[in-house]
Structure 1
Amino acid sequence: MGRLKLLKQVAAGLARQFGPDCEIVIHDLKTQDLEHSIVYLENGHVSGRQLGDGPSNVVLKALKETHPENLTDRAGYLTRTADGRVLKSSTFYIKDETEELHYILGINYDITKLLTLEAAIHNLTDTDEEKEKEAAPEITHNVNDLLDHLIEESVSLVGKPVALMTKEDKVKAIQFLNDSGAFLITKSGDKVANYFGISKYTLYSYTDVNKEKGEEKK
């Protein structure tokens, strides 16, 4: 059985296993038409993509890698759709025996409703004692993982996904990131602004709002 045929079989099985909220996509990097790299797609409504659409940022970064052997699979990271829904994503690089990259298998599970349900349950079960406990910081291996973790914490603090956040909710999340030192990380402003669906100007205005509130309290 050919590698692509086997991947399609696995993709179809995963889609049946996890249901309509789970998108499975295969990018063919051997084709000469990389602007239409998607050769197989299950539940494309999750991201709004269609068969024959072009590469994602993950694919473009993989194509720019001059040493494909350095590409390693990544599982369970967060991504976001254009309309603000939160996805739990995994990316698998399919190479041949010479480490040449041929295909990318992507899994994107829409967890937006689960996050909303989790927040609602937490509000019911939360106690004063739990609130007083200080959360143990997560140990990360690089600043990118650290920034991802801080963004996840800011969303958890607000208690709802970005798609459902008001301006006040986003200001609260931005304040948490600012207080946590997230903006000391290089180019973090671009990533945070993109994640929350706001411009960098708006991002800075939100941090200014926080400064003004702090001055009023003095």
Structure 2
Amino acid sequence: MNSDYSLDFLKRLAKGISAQFGRNCEVVIHDLSSGHVDYPIIFIENGHVTHRTTSTSASRVVLNALKHVSDSLEDKLNYLTKTHDGKILKSSTIYIRDNQNKPMGIFSINYDITELTIAKNCIDSLLSHKEDIKNADKIPQNVNQLLEDLLEESVKKIGKPVALMTKEQKIQAIQFLNDAGAFLITKAGDKIADFFSISKYSIYNYVDIKNKF
């Protein structure tokens, strides 16, 4: 690279990124100015991620940069790569250009996400379930809360607010509550009657009606 000042900045940037994200983050500076593929790596942090050093030969990204017209080269961010020993890396490739927009180097970041991928798979397995979380039963802290949850569920079963329910729909809702055991809760009849704006006498009549709807 032509500028020692620019190279010094890039090295400090590489050290900063690798320090910020830890030992799993490899940062590499490739020099393209020589036009040769024999040892293009001029600086590397956490080279153990890909087992590379400044004595390592070119990678495919270097060959691509040397082979193709500079105007066709675009930075590539947040893509997946892998090592020969099976590590999965999240990578980014940024071209370093001179005043004429010609690529003079490559700044690469390779973050080893192998362990994170294994952890994610374990977490996904633990969190997997057959039901939609929206339909999950609530765990009440007391019987009053239990009754409120059942009333809420009865409204969802009908699909409209109580004020818009027909008599038949209220019968369906109340029979759902009866099947769910809501009337086993002390004084549930009074609260259910108030909730549906009907008399307690009507409540028990509705319970006795066979659900024909």
Alignment deviations for residues 138-162 of structure 1 (CA, whole Å, 9 cap, x no partner): xxxxxxxxxxxxxxxxxxxxxxxxx
1:43 to 43, 46, 59: 46
Structure 2 stretches of 5 or more lacking a match?
A: 133-213
What is residue 126 of structure 1 aligned with on the other side? Answer: 128
The aligned residue for residue 67 of structure 2 is 64
Whole-Å separation in 2 of the counterparts to 1:115 and 1:61: 29
Correspondence for 2:85: 83
Equivalents in 2 of 1:69, 1:32: separation in Å? Answer: 17
Residues in 2 aligned to 1:4 and 1:55: alpha-carbon distance in whole angstroms: 19
Q: Distance in 1 between matches of 2:34 and 2:66?
A: 12
Q: CA deviation at 1:21?
A: 0.4
1:34 Cα offset (Å): 3.0
2 CA distance for matches of 1:75 and 1:8?
Answer: 20
Q: Corresponding residue for 2:144?
A: none
Q: Which runs of 4+ in 1 moved over 2 A?
A: 31-34
**Deviations for 1:7-32, whole angstroms, at most 9, x for unmatched residues?**
11100100100110000000011136
Structure 1 residue 81, shift from structure 2 partner = 0.4
Query: SS state of the match for residue 42, structure 2?
Result: strand
Cα distance between partner residues in 2 of 1:26 and 1:108: 12
Matched, 1:23 2:36: no
Residue type of the partner of 1:11? A
Higher Cα Rg, which structure: 2
Deviations 1:89-109 (A, max 9, x none): 000001012111101011000
Alignment partners' CA distance in 2, 1:58 and 1:124: 38
1:129 shift after superposition: 3.0
Normalised by the length of structure 1, the TM-score is 0.57
Superposition RMSD in Å = 1.6
TM-score by length of 2: 0.58
**Which consecutive residues of structure 1, in runs of 5 or more, have no partner in the other structure?**
131-218
- Quick one: distance in 1 between partners of 2:53 and 2:120? 31
> CA, structure 1 residues 38+80, in 2 after alignment: closer, same or farther (shift >3 Å)?
same
Provide the rounded CA distance (Å) in 2 between the counterparts of 1:31 and 1:18.
Answer: 31
Task: State the Cα distance separating 1:3 from its structure 2 match.
Answer: 1.5
Figure out how many residues of one structure are paired with residues of the other and give that number. Answer: 130
Pairwise CA distance, 1:6: 1.1
Residue identity matched to 2:102: E
CA distance in 2, matches of 1:59, 1:29: 8
* 1:28 alignment partner AA: D
Match of 2:102 in 1: 100
Partner secondary structure for residue 34 of structure 1: coil
- Describe the shift of the 1:82–1:8 C-alpha distance in structure 2 as closer, same or farther (beyond 3 A): same
